[in-house]
Chain A
């Protein structure tokens, strides 16, 4: 895409851009974390926030920060980062700048499993593991069906298999909803829309994100070759079938972990990598870490808004990301050439 008026990015600007972007992303991440921790229904000033983060005095404000806002903020950041990273990987896998972590049905599998679990009265504690298993099940089905022995034919088949699986899960979700008793529906809908109010243990999420980012950076040089098609990647010494499997599994695991905790939060994974690319970071070694920081910041800010705009009630954050994401996506789509 040509940014209007500047068809040629100067060579110097191009080499300096990632460093500036990295600085910008770090600042954005830090400020979004602070804003999220500092905002809420009880007024706690920023200096108090710092005090409570480093020392415990057992007061109510201290407990709000330590046990509610900090874990939820870090969970939001981790989920946003995972979704953006999964989206960036999916965009390489499908060679499409508008790929999305949910396009291959991962979230559908998770949602179907969770709703079925809710209908059967399984305790809330078990819903996250069940969502994860559902997401993995969907992943395995799609990948088994779409397996192909040659590099050139696989992507279309993978995309179509995933889209059809997603449609199938969606039908199953509707079926479950129509069979469920009325009093269970609000909980189910909240989960379907994506919600972070129960995400209060960020440590495993941050661990998955760190491992996922490290693995993605490890294969980033190969991804830079795969951008020109898997056949071309094979000609440059990359094993295309292995890379495709790594990409798909990595993106699916990240998405599964995010969906298991927060439900299907849309648009973060779709738009973040696209925006980062628009700002000039097209090399995967820059794009992947910047997407993590950008996606984390976006979801942290969106979640802050979701729990404050109509306080004391809370909005499901997935609704907010969709409200912001849909017009933004349409705008980007208008600017996209060659689609």
Chain B
């Protein structure tokens, strides 16, 4: 039995403890905002916050999140008004949109730690999040706009 807090709610899971957090969120809890992109931490589409850190939910087992707190895109802000989400909408970042929840979660974690990142810090933080539509230019602008350095 694994106990984990997801978006502020206590949950318990008695399935396969080797199941990655991503499949638990998607298949068991129906929290499909966390996307499946590669399964091996290469694309960032499944990025969530684990005790405040941006992590790839596809590559951490349920056994390893026991007692921890997970925040997904659905729980980032009750009204979807997190400064990163607002910045994303203000510059119309998304095209297909599939990777954007992961991008937003990554950017939110960056700005929580580094409120005024340099361009290089944004590059480094966002490097692991692939966007195949190629929205990077706008992602970069949105992260900067949401930061204190904007």
Binding between chains A and B: no
> Which residues of chain A have a CB within 8 Å of any CB of chain B?
none
